[in-house]
Amino acid sequence: MNQPTEQLLNAAHTTLGELNSLAATGLAGFEKLVELNLATAKDAMADTAEHMQAALSAKAPQDLAATANLLQPMAEKAAAYGRAVAAIVTDTGAALTKSAESQMAQVQAQAMATIDATMKHAPAGSEGAVAAFKSAVSAGQHALETAQANAKAAASAVEKNLAAVTDAATKAARATTKA
């Protein structure tokens, strides 16, 4: 087997293993979300039953009004759920991004090595075309790096906005409960 073909096959094999790892990471994140949702649903059912029991056993209007104080813990639990979801999504996304970036760097290095090896055998007089091709590959890599940086910045902004919305919702629920 010739060297460039062997390098491409090795790169494909490595990429397949890495894709399998990425899929496992994504599935683990999904599993955490499912577990969180099940636990939250169980807690919500228990809380609802407890609140309904308290409301039904109220003998005076004051007793019924006291059950309204149970809304604040529910709002806090909802905010905690939102933070837990955000943490799972952020952690899983960070793991996937780190793995993908590592793999991308390896693939790029292997591709450049393969291109260099192949271009050494280019016919005489094709130096300009080889240089243009290498320049295009380099520009593509730079564009990819820029896109990755922009995606990280966007994800960070979304995470900050989600935290701000969750905090605002919690404060609003506390204010409503106190009023």
Read off the pLDDT of residues 35-60 as tens digits, 9 standing for 90 and up. Answer: 999 999 999 899 888 888 888 887 88
Residue-wise pLDDT for 81-107, tens only, equals 888 988 898 888 888 888 777 777 777
C-alpha span between 115 and 48 (Å, rounded): 64
Neighbours of 67 (CB within 10 A): 17
Q: Judge whether residue 161 has pLDDT over 80.
A: no
C-alpha span between 25 and 163 (Å, rounded): 24
Task: Find the mean pLDDT for residues 129-157.
Answer: 78
Domain total in the chain: 1
Domain residues for the domain of 95 are 3-178
Supply the angle between the helices 71-119 and 127-178 in degrees, to the nearest 10.
180
Q: Would you state the pLDDT for residue 177?
A: 59
Helices and strands, number each (H, E), in the chain:
4, 0
Q: Judge whether residue 4 has pLDDT over 80.
A: no
Residue type at 147 in one-letter notation: A
Q: Judge whether residue 10 has pLDDT over 70.
A: yes
C-alpha span between 103 and 87 (Å, rounded): 24
Residue type at 145 in one-letter notation: E
